[in-house]
Amino acid sequence: MEQLFKKQQGITLLEVLLVLAIASIIIVLSIRYYQSATTAQQANSVMEEIQAIAAGMDSLQASVGSYTGITTTQLTSVVGANNLLSPVGGLPIVVSNMAGATYTVTIPTNLAVCTIVKARLSSNTKFTNITACGTTVKYTYDASK
């Protein structure tokens, strides 16, 4: 009897599609992980900037007695110019309304980082009036609390 079906070598279309589907899933998951890790790193960098500003302002306040009259130039000399640039985009961080026991800081950033930073700042009572609009994080630091 003659063999009607010959044994074929190679891969089928179904096998190719299965490999492509698995590869696609791995690529999508790795991109999401990378974006998440990048956002977390940027949020950590913003928090480091906030800590540097707070330490610098407290140092200046200790010598003067209040935040009133402290200038951005004085703050820059204490914390360094690089610590007054946003880690997200490199735009300048604005420190303003320095009066008595409070000052206000505005940090340019993006929505994902804003959300994380706002949540972290909310747990500390010294940080008040925290707003995150998507392009900036703005807060008031109150040393009296």
In single-letter form, the type of residue at position 45 comes to S
Q: Read off the pLDDT of residues 8-46 as tens digits, 9 standing for 90 and up.
A: 677 888 999 999 999 999 999 999 999 999 999 999 999
Chain segment 89-135, per-residue pLDDT in tens: 788 888 888 888 899 999 999 988 999 999 999 999 999 999 877 78
> What would the two tokens of residue 141 be?
């630091």
How many residues does this entry show for the chain?
Answer: 145
Does residue 69 have a pLDDT over 80?
A: yes
Structure tokens at 12: 């089928």
Check residue 92 and report its DSSP letter.
Answer: B
Distances (CA, A) of 89 to 46, 80, 92: 11, 18, 9
* Percentage of the chain lying above the pLDDT 90 cut: 49
- CATH class as words, domain 13-142: alpha beta
